[in-house]
Amino acid sequence: MPLTGFAAFQGGTSFRPNLTGDPLTPSGQRTIDNYLNRDTVLVPTDQTQPFCSAGRNVARSNAFFQLDFGLHKNFALPMREDMLIEFRAEAFNLFNKTNFPAADGNRSNAGFERITSAFPARQIQFALKLYF
């Protein structure tokens, strides 16, 4: 019974913003939509100076991990030697890990620092194929 698999592991993208103060909103004022203090984050305007005041890797987006798995088996049909049926089972995101994309990093957008979506959940599919 042949098995197939594919694993994807990727660390989050690192960002180096220009910071003018504490990037977190004061603890008593934090909400799901107001966790980072956008007034302390400056967007770099000079493209020739890509390295900003924050240290390397101080801000990272979410890491990505996904394992896809499949197996298939062929069965001969007793009535005809030249025919067979193939059964396939495939699972995408086998462990059903929620993977989030990077938050909106554009400070001028209303959705700055918000994560508004997720990659697909586990998907399982089965198939039968007749060879003749």
For residue 30, what pLDDT is reported? 74
Domain boundaries, the chain: 3-131
116, two tokens: 């508004």
What are 66's strand-pairing partners?
8
Residues 53-57: contacts with CB within 8 Å, 24+ apart? 53/17, 53/18, 53/19, 54/15, 54/16, 54/17, 54/18, 54/19, 55/16, 56/14, 56/16, 57/14
* CA-wise closest residue to 54 among 103, 14, 111: 14
Residue with tokens 């390295």: 51
For residue 110, what pLDDT is reported? 75
pLDDT tens for the 132 residues of the chain, in order: 788 888 999 887 776 777 778 777 787 887 767 777 777 777 666 666 666 777 776 667 778 999 999 999 999 988 888 899 999 999 999 999 999 887 776 667 777 777 788 899 999 999 999 998
